[in-house]
Structure 1
Amino acid sequence: MKNNDKKVSHICLIGDDPTANLTPIIDKDIPSDRVIIAHEEHQQEQVEQLKKVIQIRGYKVEKWLIPSTFNTEEIKFNFMQLFEQEATHPSDTWLNASNGTRYQILAAFEVARAYGAHIYIVEPKYDALCWLSPENKEITPVADKIKLHEFFSVNGCKLKSQQNKNGIAPDLRVIGENWLKQADRLQTGLAKLNYLAQFTHGDTFISKEQDNAMLNDESLQWLLSDLETLALIKVDGKSVHFQNEKTRFFANGGWLEEITFSYIRNLSAEIPELQDDGHSVEIERSVNGKTIKNELDVVALVNNKLHVIECKTKKFKSGGGSDMLYKIDSLAERLGGLKCKSALVTFYPLNNSELARAYELNINIFNVNRIVNLKSSLKKWLLGNHE
């Protein structure tokens, strides 16, 4: 009998890592046809988020209410009722012990073992089912099938929009790669280009006039020449006419986002575990009845873990680097859970205290010394081999 012909009901609990409840279910090589979500009354919203995604994938979902108490005997009795009910069901029963409070997991584990049920946890490090019962069963790899919109959905967010679903234009990629290779020589020019692109007149996309420092900055003039060669801008005297909003965004630091995203997209051919990616991803979530919007520069799902990448070509003002690091850490934790990885790609160096803060927050920094070889550095990071 094939695995996917076997009928299995998975019992899972609501907790901090909802993807661990989802990924075993949607793996075609792991038998499953029904999910029972054990939850407390106050967790209804989380239950509905998980239930919706599982049902869209074509699986049956049932809910089981557990008492809100610290009394393990009461919780144990509740799970005994559940497993007694499941004893009459035609499918096998497996317990996913990846989520829940410690006393809930211990109570469920003890009851499941008494009823001879298979018990597993989804181990984040290996992205695999590690079996607690039967004890000698080999770990079962979990396929990387979840997509970004599903990941965000079970984590209480909604993916509203994203750019460049099909990658970026080849000519823009060439420019971006050339600029990366000259990173150490282009810092002053890029700062001035950011300024010109940031301050344009209304909807005309015409910059302020260049001052003498700009006109005499070889790196800026080289950058403008690159853009003009591809008809992305037109230099008219001292002013720069950007073709449209997309071109203005590209010149105002968007090029680093786009080249970073193009590398992530390209790496999917080399990293089978890279299951989905996104550029300029807009996320919505509800906090105390208010809709909060966030935008992520570049994201990737690798081995069912979210990787968030912020890209900056501007110098940080005093304290700005630390503020940026806290923002990245906060967003990563809220949107991607405990397993999320985050990184900052920056053209300008962080000071020692900011670097220490990044290390403390486990944020990987791709600074000017590393972005010359950004693609290979990203590959090592995505595979977990931090430099």
Structure 2
Amino acid sequence: MQLTQVHIVLVSAQTAPNLLPALDPAMKPKKVIMLVSKKMCSQADALENVFRQNGIKTERINLVNEHDFKDLERTILNLAASHEIESIALNVTGGTKLMAIAAQSIAQAAKWPVFYVDVDTDEVIWIIDKAQHNHKLTEHLRLRHYLLGYGFEIDGQVERPQPDSRHETLIRTLLLNIGSLEHPLSQLNWLTQIAEDKKIFSVEMNDKQRDSLGLSTLLRHFEDAGSLKVNGSTIRFTDEVERDFVKGGWLEHHVYRTVESLTNELGIRDKAANLTIAKNGVRKEMDVVFMARNRPFVIECKTARMDKPEAPKANDTLFKLADVSRVGGLGANKMLTSYRNLREPEKKLADALGISLVCGEELNRLEEKIKNWVRN
């Protein structure tokens, strides 16, 4: 494929169509010229940041009125005149329809190649340039580039949990005994929360908890996994990491490891657990997030009880997940995984918010659920 020195892009709410060809080794330009409407200034800032980090120069053309077709044509004609000695290709994927029509009409007169990016197939389709064949993109967006494209920075380290045979055995036990372990797990979550709130690594059980056969059985499983030690009525957690694992991190670990096992089959390009991102001082936390088909997929993991009318945690969790997933463009795909089932009203709310659910016994079919979720 013949490389062009300059890409002209129409900045819109979707970053992937502008980033993908510019970062692709077979198409990477020396410079990107961005046509920017007033509404898309912050989006252009974010795009510019990614381009520059990848060694691509940028130029910005601010549009006075993106609804004035004649003005759009004049602006692009002036652009053509000032860059006539350079090889230029127009990426017509973004912007408004009017911007795209104006840009394409000038491109046709100037004999610029024009292409469109199909993010579903990772393919560049050439509209004007019969000498070019459709090109399968080799560059796939990583989490950092995608998030930067919308102005989000990754705050802290990116976690990618590693396999641990003791943990894997414990998780299988928890999943196979969802019905019988629900109540003791609630008790253990509550005790672990006390330790976390006090920033300590031990907690005392009351007489009822100490005499609970279900809780004793559950504690023994976590003890075998090296997460804690039980001495009489005292539960002592191994360290902060294991305390977090006991309080619900085990489900995040399981979800992440399931996603990792599907990496090749689903074309997953990047993934992380416990990811914190920030924009304009506002932080968002994601339990598990991954990129597939150049789109983000966000999974919230919950082991706490959310199925009782007196505990309005399910609604809070669903609204939080919907908000966290607004990381750009049309937003991320959203899923809630829960050790316990939700009530019908919460299920209806999840459906209204576009959130897929994998709850209770369905966790034993998590792999199948994630496959269908990504493919659909």
Structure 1: distance between partners of 2:145 and 2:199: 37
Match of 1:275 among 254, 257, 269: 269
3-state SS of paired residue (1:270): helix
Matched, 1:50 2:63: no
Structure 1, unpaired ranges of 5+: none
Structure 2: distance between partners of 1:227 and 1:193: 10
* Alignment match, 2:200: 204
Deviations 1:17-46 (A, max 9, x none): 112211111112335332111114564443
Matched, 1:86 2:83: yes
CA contact (8 A) 1:282 1:295 kept: yes
**TM-aligned CA distance change 1:255 to 1:7, over 3 Å:** same
Residue 87 (structure 1) shift = 2.8
Residue 232 (structure 1) shift = 2.0
Match of 1:284 among 260, 263, 278: 278
**TM-aligned CA distance change 1:321 to 1:127, over 3 Å:** farther
**TM-aligned CA distance change 1:134 to 1:222, over 3 Å:** farther
* Alignment match, 1:328: 321
Structure 1: distance between partners of 2:84 and 2:169: 62
Matched, 1:71 2:71: no
Matched, 1:216 2:212: yes
After the TM superposition, which of the residue ranges 65-74 and 138-147 deviates more from structure 2?
138-147
After the TM superposition, which of the residue ranges 291-300 and 119-128 deviates more from structure 2?
119-128
CA contact (8 A) 1:314 1:347 kept: yes
The correspondence of residues 101-112 of structure 1 with structure 2, limited to 5 A, is: 101-112=96-107
Matched, 1:360 2:357: no
CA contact (8 A) 2:161 2:273 kept: no
Structure 2, unpaired ranges of 5+: none
Structure 1: distance between partners of 2:300 and 2:288: 7
Residue 284 (structure 1) shift = 0.8
State the identity %. 24
What amino acid is aligned across from residue 354 of structure 2 in structure 1?
A: N
Residue 139 (structure 1) shift = 4.5
Q: TM-score, normalised by structure 2?
A: 0.90
CA contact (8 A) 2:158 2:275 kept: yes
Matched, 1:308 2:298: yes
Deviations 1:68-114 (A, max 9, x none): 3522211121112112333322x2x2222222233222322222233
User: How many corresponding residue pairs?
Assistant: 372
Structure 1: distance between partners of 2:353 and 2:132: 36
What amino acid is aligned across from residue 370 of structure 1 in structure 2?
A: E
3-state SS of paired residue (1:70): coil
Structure 2: distance between partners of 1:361 and 1:135: 44
RMSD: 2.4
* Alignment match, 2:254: 259
**TM-aligned CA distance change 1:170 to 1:9, over 3 Å:** farther
Structure 2: distance between partners of 1:170 and 1:82: 61
CA contact (8 A) 1:124 1:339 kept: no
Structure 1: distance between partners of 2:155 and 2:54: 20
Structure 1: distance between partners of 2:111 and 2:295: 31
Structure 2: distance between partners of 1:351 and 1:6: 56
What amino acid is aligned across from residue 256 of structure 2 in structure 1?
A: F
Residue 265 (structure 1) shift = 2.2
Structure 2: distance between partners of 1:203 and 1:322: 28
3-state SS of paired residue (1:54): helix
